[in-house]
Amino acid sequence: MTRLIECVPNFSEGRDPAKIEAIVSTMSAVPGVYILGREMDADHHRCVVTMAGEPDAVAEAAILGAGKAMQLIDLNEHSGAHPRVGATDVIPFIPIEGVTLEDCVALARRVGEELWKRYRIPVFFYEAAATRPDRVNLENVRRGQFEGLREQLKNNHDRQPDIGEPKLHPTAGVTVVGARKFLVAYNVNLNTADVGIANKIAKAIRFSSGGLRYVKSMGVELKARGLAQVSINLTDFEQTPMHRVYELVKREAERYGVTPVGSEIVGLVPKRAIEMAADFFLQLEDFSPSQVFENKLAAALSGAPAENSESTKLAQLARPFLDVVAAPSPTPGGGSVSAFAGASAAALGQMVAALSRKKKSQAAFVDRLSTELDVLRKSGDALTAAIDRDALAYDEVLKAYKLPQTSPDEIKLRKQEVERATRGATEVPLEVAERTVALFEQLGQLHAIAAASMRSDLQVAQLMADAGARGALANVEINLDGINDAGFVQSVREKLEALRSRLGATAHEATASK
């Protein structure tokens, strides 16, 4: 399953392109990370970078980016219109595909630990990752900015960071790390330089002052353009869409004799947000996103079911794999099915861990469940890949047996290739056996921290892991019969014995008493 997150680190540098290029280059050098955009603003003296990719890769990129920013940015010499407490001011993680908000919370906590461990930068957590209710809102964490926070940390216990010593990094300040839904940074520029008017409008529209839900806003002076700006963050654009915010800003502005002269999006915006605005302003009747050509084309190319059709049945998802296993051909065979059983066990374990950490009864185990979930995902990915690897390895054996043997040299070569391929076909199921035995043990340990209502699911997961392990062990055994290297065979047999000892009783016996 594809797992994607977005990360939008904010750096306190908006005037020196060379510094931002150095930071972005550091992050983009991490394999699997895609830099989707960067927005620099001289008045705000801030840069917003948008990147996406696999969670672990994006997390590492964010950490390295913060390290580079620490080297290049000195907050003692920084001033701008936007509040800031750190050289890397904010690092939010946003779930995109195959990832939950809880996953991003766990990732945020891990990144916070690493920022302190590697760079001695203290960390606050905010939004969904906040450890205290008063730190959910970013503005509370950032109150007083770099200079004010530096003084408050000396004697105000309530302002102590979540991770690190109660003092700022001398040049990089602190970093605020969090997890949240997709945020739209949306600004409306006014035909006045009076920032006081922008502040009054911002107060009228933001939720904390009685305005629109999911809206955070403040007035900003754009000195370079001679304008005032209402700077807005939409934390849930589907509940409070951009067009509704724009209309309220426009109406409030009329009270002071000013009008909007334009608006801007900082960073990226979901297509859905633009579709909603188009629907509103064009007054389209019965509009549906399926009427957008690109949406329809993407659905067709991905093989997604047509709109309004019956939902895809689970059996239809499983049928292609079952059909190829049932076909009268040697591969995929027992090795691939064993890997599939292990991958299924890991997937079911992920479900148990993910649902358990959402339950209030398991609140004390949230961090441990998140750690277990990460391990289960990695095991599942490796076992899923082994489904193909096992089939390909045995295909190599079949290929070796088909080599010609009409001369002594050809016979010798064929014997060598059969031996080499058979060893390869042994190593893959051995790896599957090792992973599934470890998985079986991990699932057994989950019983102590998983929700009681998930007991049967966890039991089924262990049974599947047991089946995958024993199937893989059987495939290793049968392949050993075709290998002449006595030392290799003895080494593998010792590993098999150790794995059987760890597996012990059957999964049924192991889980019956849980």
Name the catalytic one among 44, 45, 82, 169.
82
Q: Assign 125 to helix, strand or coil.
A: strand
Using an 8 Å Cβ cutoff, are 206 and 137 in contact? no
Q: Let me know if 274 is exposed, middle or buried by CB neighbors in 10 A (0-12, 13-18, 19+).
A: middle
CA distance 338 to 432: 8
- Please enumerate, as own/partner, the contacts of 243-250 that have beta carbons within 8 Å and a separation of 24 or more: 243/276, 243/277, 243/280, 243/281, 244/212, 244/280, 245/186, 245/188, 245/205, 245/212, 245/215, 246/188, 248/204, 248/205, 248/211, 248/212, 249/188, 249/201, 249/205
The percent helix, strand, coil of the chain (3-state, each to 5) is 55, 15, 30
b/e string for 357-387 if b means 16 or more Cβ within 10 A?
Answer: bebeebeebbebbbebbbbbbebbebbbebb
Please state whether beta strands 184-190 and 123-127 pair in parallel, antiparallel, or not at all (unpaired).
unpaired
Q: Residue 465 and residue 455: Cα distance in Å, rounded?
A: 15
What value, to the nearest 5°, has the Cα angle with vertex 46 and ends 44 and 47? Answer: 135
Six-digit token string for 435 = 């992973």
Three-state secondary-structure class, residue 313 = coil
C-beta atoms surrounding 43 within 10 Å? 18
Is there a catalytic annotation at residue 44?
no
CB 202 within 8 A of CB 189: no
Catalytic residues: 82
